[in-house]
Structure 1
Amino acid sequence: MAACCGGTPHAGRDRCTLNTSSSPHGPYSQKSCCSKEEDIHAVSSSCDTNKSCLQDVCGIDSDHQEEYIGLDSKDIESATAITEHITLNVRGLTCAGCENKLFKSLDAIHGVHNVRTSLVMSQAEFDLDPGAESVDKIIQYIAKSTGFACHRVSTHGQSLDILVPGDARDFIKRKRPLGVESLLALNKQTVRITYNARFVGARDLLDCLFGRSITLAPPRLHPEVESGIKQVRRAAFMTALSTMLTIPVLILAWAPLPEHEILYGAISLTLATVVQIVVAGPFYPSAIKALLFTRVIEMDLLVVLSTSAAYIFSVIAFGYQVRGRPLSTRAFFETSTLLVTLIMLGRLVSAFARHKAVESISIRSLQIGTAILVDSDGRGGQKIDARMLQYGDTFKVIPDARIPTDGIVVSGESEVDESNVTGEVIPIEKSPGSNIIAGSVNGSGTLTVRLTRLPGENTISEIAAMVDAAKFSKPKIQELADRVASFLVPVIVVLSLIAFVIWIAVGKAIQHRSTGSAAVNAMTYSISVLIVSCPCAIGLAVPLVVVIAGGVAAKYGVVFKTAETIEIARKVSHVIFDKTGTLTKGELSVLAEDYFSESQSVAASIALGLTMNSKHPVSAALAAHLQARGVEPLLIENVKSVTGSGMEGTLNGVSVCGGNSRWLDVQGVPQVTSLLSQGLTVFCISLDGDLLSVYGLDDSLRPDAMSTVTELQRRDIAVSLVSGDDDGAVRKIGHQLGISPLQVRSRYSARDKQRYVKAIMDHKDGGKIVLFCGDGTNDAVALAQANIGLHMNSGTDVAQSAADAVLVRPALSGIIILIDLSQAAFRRIIFNFSWSFIYNTFAILLAAGAFVDVRIPPRYAGLGELFSVLPVILIALQLRWFKRG
């Protein structure tokens, strides 16, 4: 095998080793064209000198490589296996019963854990243990037990759809180059490549590894949107087919035509049979599989029972008529056909609404499809598909154009509108060194940008992933809805039987009908009861609102990661703020500095060496200040953060510490006391316990801090301020914002913050719903403790992972938006529940004949799904026009 992309053959083996030279297409380290399986075999048969292969190929770090030397490929793959997260697109989900059936089927499979399903997204996700059934086997089982068609969705790595010569199924059998994680045939000509963009770029992948005979496929919609379109199209086709077959039956039954009952009956029988087999046919296996495999009685069973009863009776009645012995009640094929048609119409409306809900709030629609590629100096200008961008690229953004992906401005100045992504309505000035985000719109200037994140992992993708995660989560009120929906179908079956028995008795005893006539009349009431009620409205009452609320919140720069957040945010009674980077900008400036060393330059160099790589606002501000003075850092080794206190390291074996005055126990030093009395944040540096230098820093409030705190207090929501900073600095901010001194806490460690949050939540006067807003690593435990942890996006990844919601732009007004949106969403959920309860109660009473002079005939009972679901859909969709106060 020849080496590719400049790789050099590995001695003794037919593979390419790491090439540290830069690729002409970007700064990639090109590796071999061998598959991962080949590399593992090579490792297992190699000596200790090839441990680097274990790191490169298998991802095994150096501390654990000894135990893998000598193992064959299967042993290594087994030993390094980890739980796999799987996401499936599911076709066929139409109601809460379907979702329940899917959940039970997946949950019953050995090795499958943490199952989550979404009716609105038509998706399921779960964790799969190593050694469990393959994903293909699981998909086959789901199809067998539920009738749903599934396919896997790739959720990691970059993906690229390509058109291949020949059969795609043959193409995916070839050996995968290193960096390519999977090959999936989407159809006969299209293959989806999932690859690790850190190993190989998109252009390198096509040009070098697969050859120029491969072309890029047209872009596809996101799986959840694509799945929704397919479901709507299928529902529309089946509804149209059923309508075309039903109309002639209705004409033959209701129009004033010449008497040809046998002929009309034969035509109606033929058309009704086609409707029953082709249109209603899929309901039968679905209902039967639900009963056999998951013991679930779902809406499809009601459709099967009602339409089958009407159809079978009509066939029997027509048979008697042909024999010349007509029954007292003639055949009513129009009932079964119209019933099926109206049910399909209701399903179509429901599917269309779910699709529009997902499509309208999809943040991914902000991703532009093209980029203008230039060289590192900004020269040239080749327009390429944005999917072909790779690390090391530089692209140009012309005036009024949407930005293709995240990057750093290299040259040019302009104003950028980020409102679509962050909710910030005021354009932001950008100049060299500024960060720009995908989906925002450039102003009148031209920008040259160095790419920092690819389209598949940029800000848009990150926000969309968090929004998707919330769609899978379910608030507690959804559990109530699921229980009601699961009980409703069996209750309806029982009620239909009761109605049947009662009306036979009424027909015999009061109406003096014959037994046959009374039974036929009772059956019409029973059929109406079966089909007029609709659990679908209850099933959609919560998830449709949650999905739309998630998209609306994201457009205002607020992303909630769990559905429970949107449920309880309306009840927030206490908001606790961190100070630095939350209420303040976190852009500190050094206002004063004192040195206690004979050599100030050495002391400054030690301070810079300790803080230069820190992301903490205080350390970063100090480092920037010293670098601006031209200070050269000394090499400080073993630097580590001490949460809530500061940093420590070693200089030539001597301990160096930097942090607050309490941690270093220097509060009594006059210079320190003076800075503290001025309300400044004090940062001290010590060497082997001796104070070297002291710095006084100040910060400014965020522009919307005052208005946000004032609005919260106006709503009778208590506000607290907790910080690890010194008392003077914290109380200064608290006073500026009008926060009661009793609600201000300074010098709080991470554990202190958590205890403070817990104490408020467990208050003896009644537990409160607490929202904690912070941004630093030392806020993570408090964010996790609070009912709602709200993370400022300018903070650390650790804090974000612990939070329940994220402010995409660091604007505190997002708290008000979250509370208001929660209230709006909850009102709609309550309306939906109320409407579902009222509708089902009166519809069942009408269908059962409780009102003597008014009833719902069986043929019109299918309108029930449409009338019950439509208000729920409209009320949920209205949330799209939510406006912040």
Structure 2
Amino acid sequence: MAPDLEAQGIGVEHVVLSVSGMTCTGCETKLIRNLSAVAGVKNLKTSLILSRAEFDVDLSVLRVKDAIRYLERTTEFRYDLINSSGSSMEVIVSEDLSCFLGRPTPEGVTEMTAIGKNNVRVVFDPQVVGSRDLIEEHWAGIATLAPTRGDPALRAGRKHVYHVGYMTAASAALTVPVLVMAWAPIPKREMAYSAASLALATLVQVVIAGPFYPKALKALVFSRVIEMDLLIVLSTSAAYVFSLVSFAYLAAGNPLPTGQFFETSTLLITLIMVGRYVAALARQKAVESISIRSLQTQNAFLVDGPDSLEGREIDVRLLQYGDIFMVVPDTRVPTDGTILSGSTEVDESMLTGESCPVEKTPGFSVIAGTINCSGTLLVRTTRLPGDNTISTIATMVDAAKLSKPKMQELADKVASYFVPVIVALTVVTFAIWIAVGVNVQGKTGSQAAIQSITYAITVLIVSCPCAIGLAVPMVVVFASGIAAEQGVIFKSAGAIEAAHKTSHVVFDKTGTLTQGKLGVAAEHHLEDGESRLPLLLGLVGHSKHPVSVAVSDHLRRKGVLATTIQSVNSVTGRGMEGQLGEKTLQAGNAGWLNFPDHPTVQTVTTQGFTTFCFAIDGKLCSVFGLRDSLRDDALDVVAKLQRRSISVHVVSGDDDGPVQNIASILGIPAGNVKARSSPADKRTYVQNLLAESSGQMEPVVLFCGDGTNDAVALAQATVGVHMNAGSDIAQSAADVVLMRPALSGLITVIDTSKVAVRRIKFNFVWSFVYNTFAVFLAAGAFVKVRIPPEFAGLGELVSVLPVIIAALLLRWTKI
């Protein structure tokens, strides 16, 4: 039952816990069932690979501390709080901890929690108070910033690996003497050796295997889950108890013919621990290898002002909003900011995948983790290290790792039945070998029972559901991490599972297929119109409208010098108007200027260009045709999609002419093009594609867009892909975010999905083959060939390593 907890607060807090001791799917199921039973816990997500649980806590119902305490009592796992709402830092206190915690809380500090003998975790609102102000002003001489310990999730994972390693080493140290006394060619001192073996085996059973008992029993009592730990408890206990009984017979002077096999239980436990240590180590290395947060630099050079190069080096965690820091050549940018002075080239390949450095001048933004190549920069902080681009990407990648595709549901269902089936097979194996021993081999009942126990123990321990449980999440972790390194962020594991089956790709036009930046593609002048271009530049040169900016840039590149125009007005939705002496100057769309049927205008319009006209006193002087330039890789990407028999579509809010023109250039059939589309129209278009049926295959629609008006279609599509330069609303609706401004990311999305699903299928096949063969071999189905019970503990290692290796090889797979 969930605890009866008193209301302690208001609002909702997002909690991220690192879980030590969660080693199999049964463990994960136990955690889910226990957390789901707690009132006030919502939006629960867990990850076996990350050893993590995320959930929201309704503070009007439950305190976070109470939730953690309840979980520790019912699951026997250890939990570390690695994240909650607000910014946080860890400080080392020089005075008595109770005195420090009893001090008046500075404004902006929301929580202070003791996490060690002299350490305190401080949660604060960085908009109210900065970390440096707290350390250097409020707590000067009392508290100092604790040494950085890297990504808290990785740190918690390493802590678990170390613990398992220590326990494995201790188990091995206690087991080796037992093996020597049992197998080594030394003088036989049966009673002395048996007594020593009993003492050592008891230590192994109590100290090393002891933690398995409460875990297994609490899983059974609180969660009604029969998990892998129960198999370990049953098998090792059976071997130990049998040997204990045999030792009692020996001490009584009536030894059993089989003797004791304390080496079986001790070696079994040691091999299980070796398997778990190797699996935990491999999982940890896998997570570390694709950690985006490792790009975060640890130090920043804080300068005294916007015109100063003097300052001091500080821990990057002490940066505050508005701080100015210096970035010297060949160093990483510590956090997101805006350049105040200096020019340089920045290597943004960690974000965009593009190898060519990007030119940066004052006013440009720089991104955390990117590398400054040449010049020295002064940058004003706009986002703190705990909430910068690196953190944002890492959060989105973690969200994909924590989400579960449909394949995982199948794996979880199989794993939930696995242990009960193995227990049933163990009982059947024991019964069969009793019958075989007595009726076929002519053994006595006790001899047959002893033989049956060894077969039953082997069946119990050789099987392993861990490979099934890791089959999907291990691949998802690697696939999402490797894709992130190429600038593709999967926000959900479902997108990884579905994208390879894409049958339709629907593009928005402006900002997606095109760069969203207009350029002059055609230019026509009537009579002496070209000589009057300085007047046009003077009229539109200061306008921020995209059409005016495009024409102004074009004229400046031609070397045109602007004439000063007085009384310039912007006419919304139409153009610009101004006066020069007695002359009235107008520039804008042909409809406003009453030239829609002019032959020159018609020439430009039929070419699919956006038309821009310039007139003096109502007389047409110049006509410009503007076109939004295609992205450099648009033609290549559309061709690749079509070669894969994927139907390509364009749905845009733009006029029919420009949309059809873009589609024609890209080779997209006219029937797959829809112009003048509202957000609702785009959603309907996607819905119609999803409603189509092609045999037994359900359509999979991938929609790629960038604007707020694309958000509905992004959410409607099977896989919504967002170009990162667009709006936050569209990004929130998407399943995938392309961090680089290139459509080639779509090919990466599909190829990553294809490779990942293949690996998942391989893992499922391997899990089935291994467990089937191992159980038959352990049960003695092959009669003359069997697995000795003392070596059955290697099963976990043999079953899990291929799954981990299959995922690890994704690093060297060309995507």
Write the distance in 2 (CA, Å) between the matches of 1:272 and 1:604. 91
> 1:872 — aligned with what?
803
Instruction: Give the superposition deviation at 1:604.
Output: 12
- Match of 1:438, SS state, is coil
Matched, 1:409 2:409: no
Which runs of structure 2 are paired with 1:330-345 in the superposition (5 Å)?
Answer: 330-345=259-274
Write the distance in 1 (CA, Å) between the matches of 2:540 and 2:698. 45
> 1:464 — aligned with what?
394
Write the distance in 1 (CA, Å) between the matches of 2:358 and 2:425. 63
Q: Which amino acid aligns with 2:480?
A: G
Instruction: Give the superposition deviation at 1:748.
Output: 1.1
- Match of 2:15, SS state, is strand
Matched, 1:287 2:216: yes
CA deviation digits over 1:29-72, x for unaligned, max 9? xxxxxxxxxxxxxxxxxxxxxxxxxxxxxxxxxxxxxxxxxxxx
Instruction: Give the superposition deviation at 1:399.
Output: 1.3
Write the distance in 1 (CA, Å) between the matches of 2:552 and 2:324. 29
Matched, 1:129 2:129: no
Matched, 1:220 2:149: yes
Q: Which amino acid aligns with 1:579?
A: K
Aligned equivalent of 1:351, options 280, 283, 296: 280
Write the distance in 2 (CA, Å) between the matches of 1:683 and 1:780. 30
Q: Is the 8 A contact 1:396 1:446 kept in 2?
A: yes
CA deviation digits over 1:146-165, x for unaligned, max 9? 11122323243322222111
Alpha-carbon distance change, 313 to 801 in structure 1, aligned in 2, over 3 angstroms = same
> 2:581 — aligned with what?
none
Matched, 1:518 2:422: no
Q: Which amino acid aligns with 1:405?
A: T
> 1:231 — aligned with what?
160
Write the distance in 1 (CA, Å) between the matches of 2:537 and 2:688. 42
Q: Which amino acid aligns with 1:775?
A: D
Matched, 1:844 2:781: no
> 1:480 — aligned with what?
410
Matched, 1:860 2:791: yes
Which region of structure 1 is more displaced relative to structure 2, 292-301 or 142-151? 142-151
Matched, 1:110 2:17: no
Write the distance in 2 (CA, Å) between the matches of 1:394 and 1:244. 56
Instruction: Give the superposition deviation at 1:786.
Output: 0.6
Write the distance in 2 (CA, Å) between the matches of 1:852 and 1:286. 35
Instruction: Give the superposition deviation at 1:632.
Output: 10
Q: Is the 8 A contact 1:525 1:848 kept in 2?
A: yes
Aligned equivalent of 2:478, options 528, 548, 561: 548
Q: Is the 8 A contact 1:606 1:636 kept in 2?
A: no
Aligned equivalent of 1:834, options 765, 787, 812: 765
Instruction: Give the superposition deviation at 1:347.
Output: 0.4
Write the distance in 2 (CA, Å) between the matches of 1:473 and 1:169. 41
Instruction: Give the superposition deviation at 1:665.
Output: 15
Q: Is the 8 A contact 2:88 2:121 kept in 1?
A: yes
Matched, 1:810 2:741: yes
- Match of 2:722, SS state, is strand
- Match of 2:355, SS state, is coil
- Match of 2:796, SS state, is helix
- Match of 1:391, SS state, is coil
Aligned equivalent of 2:683, options 754, 774, 798: 754
Write the distance in 1 (CA, Å) between the matches of 2:611 and 2:324. 41
Q: Is the 8 A contact 1:608 1:626 kept in 2?
A: no
Q: Is the 8 A contact 1:185 1:192 kept in 2?
A: yes
Write the distance in 2 (CA, Å) between the matches of 1:333 and 1:702. 71
Q: Is the 8 A contact 1:608 1:633 kept in 2?
A: no
> 1:269 — aligned with what?
198
Write the distance in 1 (CA, Å) between the matches of 2:477 and 2:538. 53
Alpha-carbon distance change, 619 to 128 in structure 1, aligned in 2, over 3 angstroms = farther
Q: Is the 8 A contact 1:560 1:804 kept in 2?
A: yes
> 1:84 — aligned with what?
13
Write the distance in 2 (CA, Å) between the matches of 1:562 and 1:745. 29
Which region of structure 1 is more displaced relative to structure 2, 414-423 or 136-145? 414-423
Write the distance in 1 (CA, Å) between the matches of 2:292 and 2:386. 13
Instruction: Give the superposition deviation at 1:383.
Output: 1.6
> 1:43 — aligned with what?
none
Which runs of structure 2 are paired with 1:264-413 in the superposition (5 Å)?
Answer: 264-374=193-303, 375-413=305-343
Write the distance in 2 (CA, Å) between the matches of 1:619 and 1:279. 75
Write the distance in 2 (CA, Å) between the matches of 1:429 and 1:750. 36
Alpha-carbon distance change, 625 to 127 in structure 1, aligned in 2, over 3 angstroms = farther
Instruction: Give the superposition deviation at 1:461.
Output: 0.7
Matched, 1:530 2:530: no
Q: Is the 8 A contact 1:386 1:404 kept in 2?
A: yes
> 2:125 — aligned with what?
196
Aligned equivalent of 1:586, options 516, 532, 537: 516
Write the distance in 2 (CA, Å) between the matches of 1:174 and 1:633. 63
Alpha-carbon distance change, 91 to 724 in structure 1, aligned in 2, over 3 angstroms = same
Write the distance in 2 (CA, Å) between the matches of 1:254 and 1:96. 36
Q: Is the 8 A contact 1:470 1:563 kept in 2?
A: yes
CA deviation digits over 1:666-688, x for unaligned, max 9? 9967698666434234699xxxx
Aligned-pair identity (%): 55
Aligned equivalent of 1:256, options 185, 190, 194: 185
Which runs of structure 2 are paired with 1:12-161 in the superposition (5 Å)?
Answer: 81-161=10-90
Paired residue total? 774
Write the distance in 2 (CA, Å) between the matches of 1:452 and 1:351. 38
Instruction: Give the superposition deviation at 1:212.
Output: 3.9
Write the distance in 1 (CA, Å) between the matches of 2:480 and 2:699. 24
Q: Is the 8 A contact 2:702 2:721 kept in 1?
A: yes
CA deviation digits over 1:708-733, x for unaligned, max 9? 11111122211111111111111121
Alpha-carbon distance change, 623 to 529 in structure 1, aligned in 2, over 3 angstroms = farther
Q: Give unmatched runs, 5+ long, in structure 2.
A: 1-5, 525-535, 575-587, 614-622
Q: Which amino acid aligns with 1:859?
A: E
Write the distance in 1 (CA, Å) between the matches of 2:539 and 2:461. 79
Alpha-carbon distance change, 771 to 631 in structure 1, aligned in 2, over 3 angstroms = farther
Instruction: Give the superposition deviation at 1:213.
Output: 3.1
Instruction: Give the superposition deviation at 1:251.
Output: 0.8
Write the distance in 2 (CA, Å) between the matches of 1:401 and 1:182. 35
Write the distance in 2 (CA, Å) between the matches of 1:277 and 1:114. 38
Which runs of structure 2 are paired with 1:323-722 in the superposition (5 Å)?
Answer: 323-374=252-303, 375-589=305-519, 676-681=605-610, 697-722=626-651
Q: Is the 8 A contact 1:605 1:632 kept in 2?
A: no
Alpha-carbon distance change, 148 to 523 in structure 1, aligned in 2, over 3 angstroms = same
CA deviation digits over 1:783-827, x for unaligned, max 9? 001111000000000100000010011111111111111111111
> 2:585 — aligned with what?
none
CA deviation digits over 1:561-618, x for unaligned, max 9? 0001111111112111111111111122478999xxxxxxxx9999999x96x9xx77
Which region of structure 1 is more displaced relative to structure 2, 376-385 or 227-236? 376-385
Alpha-carbon distance change, 198 to 682 in structure 1, aligned in 2, over 3 angstroms = farther
Write the distance in 2 (CA, Å) between the matches of 1:677 and 1:455. 52
Instruction: Give the superposition deviation at 1:767.
Output: 3.0
Q: Is the 8 A contact 2:541 2:549 kept in 1?
A: no
Write the distance in 2 (CA, Å) between the matches of 1:210 and 1:635. 57
> 1:597 — aligned with what?
none
Instruction: Give the superposition deviation at 1:106.
Output: 0.1
Q: Is the 8 A contact 1:228 1:354 kept in 2?
A: no
- Match of 2:346, SS state, is strand
Instruction: Give the superposition deviation at 1:626.
Output: 13
Write the distance in 2 (CA, Å) between the matches of 1:447 and 1:636. 38
Q: Which amino acid aligns with 1:147?
A: E
Write the distance in 1 (CA, Å) between the matches of 2:440 and 2:678. 81
Q: Which amino acid aligns with 2:727?
A: T
CA deviation digits over 1:636-662, x for unaligned, max 9? 99x9xxxxxx89xxxxxxxxxxx9999
Write the distance in 1 (CA, Å) between the matches of 2:594 and 2:780. 86
Instruction: Give the superposition deviation at 1:744.
Output: 1.8
